[in-house]
Amino acid sequence: MGKFDLSHRVVLTPMTKQRSDGNIPQPHAILYYSQQASKGGLLIAEATGGVPDTAQGIPLHAGIWTKEQVEEWKLIVNAVHEQISNPMGKLQSQPLTSKLLLKYEQFFSTRWRLQTEEIPLVVNDFRVAARNALEAGFDGVEIHGAHGYLIKQFLKDHVNDHSGKYGGGLENCCCFALEVVEAVVDKIAVRKAFKGTFIAVGGYDREEGNNVVSSGYADLVAFGRQFFANPDLPRRFELNAPLNTYNRETFYI
């Protein structure tokens, strides 16, 4: 995959366990990520870009906007590299949607509609986060634009009520996302390494994952919840060994 020599096609998806006091990765995260790492593997960490007022939608989520956060991520990244694995950082801005607002509004300041003049500041947050991810030692970053987060909100015309540059039509609705990509590329750089679907994700098991790869639909397959109960998931798939059953009650706080 590009410059990475991967030994298997199983990817760890970015998943927060909401255990980062002060949005700072804690020492237990070193063990957590090193357990998920495998030789020649690829994992995507939960690092969130931006600043507290614009980047968060859930509490106790690890960030990457301060020097202290970067220093803690360095310890985690080093532990993953020691497993000869490839860590990637996830960059997102995660303002509260209405559903999350009802659940987490006590943790955050009141949300507001971004004014046009504020949007370049948020784009710069992504640029700074990309720079910080490089400083922390990540091998690359994922720009996360799903699940109703900020990039997705701009792309949806029933949510994006901006007019002018950032809304009102397909091209304008894409403007924010494209500016974020350009800002991140400015710090990370990019190379064209694939066509079509790259990483497939969403409820796959071993057999289904093998099928989408062998058919050419995807190059890699990402897994989330199964990793919580099976940190050695790639090895279990290799041996076709039984999997532990995950327990949702242990996922978060």
User: CB 148: neighbour CB atoms within 10 A?
Assistant: 18
User: CB 186: neighbour CB atoms within 10 A?
Assistant: 13
Q: Decide if 233 contacts 223 (C-beta within 8 A).
A: yes
Q: Decide if 126 contacts 173 (C-beta within 8 A).
A: no
DSSP 8-state secondary structure symbol assigned to residue 229: H
- The residue ranges of DSSP E strands in 151-198, in sequence order, are none
Would you call 149 a catalytic residue per the annotation?
A: yes
- Which is catalytic among the residues 33, 149, 166, 252? 149
User: Which amino acid belongs to residue 10?
Assistant: V
Q: Decide if 44 contacts 13 (C-beta within 8 A).
A: yes
Contacts (Cβ under 8 Å, ≥6 apart) of 66: 24
Beta bridge partners of 132: none
Beta bridge partners of 90: 142
3-state secondary structure at position 218: coil
Among residues 27, 39, 120, 109, the alpha carbon closest in space to that of 76 is found at: 27
Cβ-defined contacts of 177-182 (< 8 Å, 24+) = 177/145, 177/151, 179/119, 179/120, 179/123, 180/123, 180/126, 180/143, 180/151, 181/143
Residues in the chain: 253
Q: Pairing state of beta strands 220-223 and 42-44?
A: unpaired
Q: Catalytic residue positions? A: 149
